[in-house]
Amino acid sequence: MLQDNIPNLAGLVEPDRVRKEVYTDPALFQLEMERIHERVWIYCGHESQVKRPGDYATVQIGRQPMILVRGSEGKLNVLYNRCPHRGNMLCGDRHGSTGEFFRCSYHAWTFHHDGKLRNIPMMESGYAGTRLTRDNPDCNVKRAARVESYRGFVFASLAAEGPSLTEFLGPAKIAFDDMCDRAPEGEVEIVPNCFRVIQHSNWKIFLENQLDALHPSVTHQSTGRAAREVELAIEKATGKAPLSYHMLSAFATVTIDKWDNFRTLNYPYGHCILTGYMGLRPQDPDTLDYERVLARAYGEQRKEEILSTDIHHVLLYPGLSVQSPLQQLRAVRPLSVDRTLTEIWHFRLKGAPEPIYRRALAYYNLVNSPSTMINADDLENFWKCQQGLSSDGGDWLSFHRHFGRDSERGGVVETGEGMGTSEAPMRNQMRAWAQCMSKA
């Protein structure tokens, strides 16, 4: 058994610290895939990626190559990307249209969009008397055990048992509500395609960084300072700098003590929210125009509620980091114990004026894309963490910041006043990790 190679699974995680093997042991990585990623709800994609019957997008869930495909009756299916004949992947591309049915490129077995066998060439003569009959379920493409979507965001679970998607998301579903509510039409549309980055570090290092409010003004200080200098120079010359400079300069001007003013909310299943946003409700004509459109769609009071939603980041454990006020998300696809793929996607608010999209796109390019220094700052730390953790320089990682000062109400752990840089989100993620890992 895999877990027999892993001594003392229960001793790896303590409430305030974690053993380094959790990030470096390849056997433990395999067990994580089996007990976490291939069991819980994992984000597959957005419904707008597969608009027409036959449209598909391929996606990795844990170690499994999967296909999200729209069926002829509009239904969304998630299938294993594997032909039941000799195991060939049915789709080799990231996305496309399979037409009216899947046709395997190896020996032309064909399948309906829900995975059911459609035809095998010369089946009667070739398979007469064998166990391969048309009604043998082994002839079908295997389906994900469960598929559900919430406000257009499609998730699959490879385990037949478990909480429903909305139960699993709990209050963290606000990530999708906030994103969609900001659209005058109440929904978003994905922008094809995404950036893909392979990080040379364990998948949990990326997730732990997402709500780490302690690091931005340290890690990104040099990038923030450089942007601030240019911003000031433009302001001096023209009286006003473009908003996009603020997106970067905030990393220098929002210092650690200011990050402490935010709060973290930590939910069951490892999800967490970091509140507060560094001021993206300016009073420029574009924003005011958008606010008018939103007020027409929802009424003044609801518009105010929507725009004052206090979120910086929502982490949906174990694979999604959502920045709903800016309509973007990063999906985490673990590749091996020290390799992680992240997909960086962004969305359009349906019915919103174009400049609002441009603003979100600027943030996407300046803060989350592979070409920004912000991303490079983080990636260097992630790689250095992996290197350091693989050394004999110590056995534990520390998550002690503001430990013992959290308050718990109805299963939600909240950081105290002035403790926004708490490591409560990391402790919450590791609590979920330990819970998942302990279930054989």
The footprint of ligand FES (CB under 6 A) covers: 83, 85-86, 88, 104, 106-107, 109
Structure tokens at 273: 């929210």
Site stretch for Fe ion (CB under 5 A), options 14-22, 306-314, 370-378, 420-428: 370-378
Query: Which residue's Cβ lies closest to Fe ion?
Result: 378
- Cβ-based nearer residue to Fe ion, 168 or 382: 382
| CA atoms of 315 and 175, how far apart (whole Å) | 8
At closest approach, how far in Å is the CB of 85 from ligand FES? 3
Binder among 260, 378, 406, 423 for Fe ion (CB under 5 A)? 378
Tell me the angle at which helices 354-363 and 285-298 cross, rounded to the nearest 10 degrees.
120
- Cβ-based nearer residue to Fe ion, 55 or 343: 343
- Cβ-based nearer residue to Fe ion, 55 or 378: 378
At closest approach, how far in Å is the CB of 373 from Fe ion? 11
At closest approach, how far in Å is the CB of 196 from Fe ion? 18
With CB cut-offs between 5 and 8 Å by kind, which of Fe ion, ligand FES, none does residue 42 bind? none
Site stretch for Fe ion (CB under 5 A), options 112-120, 182-190, 372-380, 426-434: 372-380
- Cβ-based nearer residue to ligand FES, 121 or 418: 121
With CB cut-offs between 5 and 8 Å by kind, which of Fe ion, ligand FES, none does residue 314 bind? none
Q: What is the DSSP string of 46-104?
A: EGGGS-STTEEEEEEETTEEEEEEE-TTS-EEEEES--TTT---S--SSEEE-TTSEE-
| 35: number of Cβ within 10 Å | 22
- The contacts of residue 24 (CB under 8 Å, 6+ apart) are 202, 337, 338, 386, 389, 390
Q: Output the CA torsion sign for 24, 155, 273, 368.
A: positive
Structure tokens at 154: 């499609």
Segments of 350-427 assigned E as strands: 396-398, 407-409, 412-414
- Cβ-based nearer residue to ligand FES, 82 or 263: 82
Tell me the angle at which helices 221-238 and 243-253 cross, rounded to the nearest 10 degrees.
130
| CA atoms of 138 and 131, how far apart (whole Å) | 10
With CB cut-offs between 5 and 8 Å by kind, which of Fe ion, ligand FES, none does residue 378 bind? Fe ion
At closest approach, how far in Å is the CB of 153 from ligand FES? 31
At closest approach, how far in Å is the CB of 86 from ligand FES? 4
- Cβ-based nearer residue to ligand FES, 83 or 247: 83
Site stretch for Fe ion (CB under 5 A), options 105-113, 192-200, 373-381, 410-418: 373-381
With CB cut-offs between 5 and 8 Å by kind, which of Fe ion, ligand FES, none does residue 85 bind? ligand FES
| CA atoms of 179 and 318, how far apart (whole Å) | 20
The reply to whether 181 sits near Fe ion by the rule CB under 5 A is no
Nearest CA among 253, 314, 305, 306 for reference residue 278:
253
- Cβ-based nearer residue to ligand FES, 83 or 190: 83
| CA atoms of 314 and 264, how far apart (whole Å) | 10
- Cβ-based nearer residue to Fe ion, 141 or 205: 205
**Residue numbers at the binding site for Fe ion (CB under 5 A):** 378
